[in-house]
Structure 1
Amino acid sequence: MSVDAVQLAHELTPYATAAITAYGAAVLARVENDAVDATVSFGQRILRRLTGRDTPDSETTTEQESLADTVAELAGAPGDADLAAVLRVQIRRLMAAHPDIAADIATWARPAAPSTVTITTSGDRSPAVQSNYGTINTGDSTT
């Protein structure tokens, strides 16, 4: 099975970044539990596979060690778009160099793609909520 490493790296990077943002430098060592969000859990699984930490006593390549270093650096600056781009390039290069890893990951079922919700409000007493299932009173004369 031939895998497009560029496309796969583009698809996987948001999951990896979500995991790094959630757990920081401990992302590669953190143990999963049932309460872990599916996106973050999937990102952890990707990173463990890509860095060779998914099997004990496995030998790691230079690409895998470099990727692990970038994970640690991005954990220290999770909002850094440049580091996220470096991560994507390293993922792409690693998968191009190791098509067996890319083919393996390409077969994994993915959770819903991570998304960002932006809520904007303007004006005095304007509430900013994503979902509201009740009443919001914003006036001075409410009872």
Structure 2
Amino acid sequence: MSTEIVQLLEQARPYLSAAVSAYGTALLSRAEDATVDAAADATASLGSRILRAVWHRRDDQGRASLETAVRDAAEKPDDANAAGPLRQQIERALQEDANLAREVAALLTAQGGVTVNVSGTRAIGAQRIGIVVSGDNSTIHPPQP
């Protein structure tokens, strides 16, 4: 799997999860409706657009597999293993169709969002940051003129 595909999948993950949780398999059969997408949570809306782009590029067998993967992920939203087959379906589609990969990349870029993953005790995550202290017994002194 190319690094670009891995990055696209990682960037798309929160959007796809939100869409699957919000819409389930209905998002695959639902016609693209700008008013519905505008009213929906922006995260779920982007995930829905990505999944529909994949859906429209698949043949009947690919669509059936994608629908099954979406249903399984929707039924167990807190189970990371249930999302695995969905990720594989999307990965396969992106690898097989360079135009789809470019379309998904453009959707993610247009979103303009930043995802910061943070874990661990006293971990700090931010896009832009000034002074941050996460340790015990710390003292911050103002800069000297």
Query: Where on the TM-score scale, by shorter chain, does this alignment land: which range?
Result: 0.5 to 0.7
Give the conservation status (yes or no) of the 8 Å contact 1:15–1:40.
yes
Classify the secondary structure of the residue corresponding to 2:40: coil
The ranges of structure 1 where at least 4 consecutive aligned residues each deviate by more than 6 angstroms after the TM superposition are none
Amino acid at match of 2:52: R
| CA distance 1:33–1:106, change in 2 (3 Å) | closer
Structure 1 stretches of 5 or more lacking a match?
53-57, 117-143
> In percent, how many aligned pairs have the same letter?
36
Give the conservation status (yes or no) of the 8 Å contact 1:18–1:114.
no
Q: Which residue of 1 aligns with 2:75?
A: 76
Q: With CA pairs under 8 Å and 6+ residues apart, which has the higher RCO, 1 or 2?
A: 1
Amino acid at match of 1:76: E
Q: Deviations over 1:51-95 (max 9, x none)?
A: 11xxxxx76253343122201121122222102122222211210
Partner Cα separation in structure 1 for residue 14 and residue 28 of structure 2: 16
For normalisation by structure 2, the TM-score amounts to 0.63
CA RMSD in angstroms, aligned pairs only: 2.7
Partner Cα separation in structure 2 for residue 3 and residue 92 of structure 1: 12
Partner Cα separation in structure 1 for residue 39 and residue 75 of structure 2: 24
For normalisation by structure 1, the TM-score amounts to 0.64
Structure with the bigger percentage of helix: 2
Aligned length: 110
Amino acid at match of 2:22: A
Q: Which residue of 2 aligns with 1:43?
A: 47
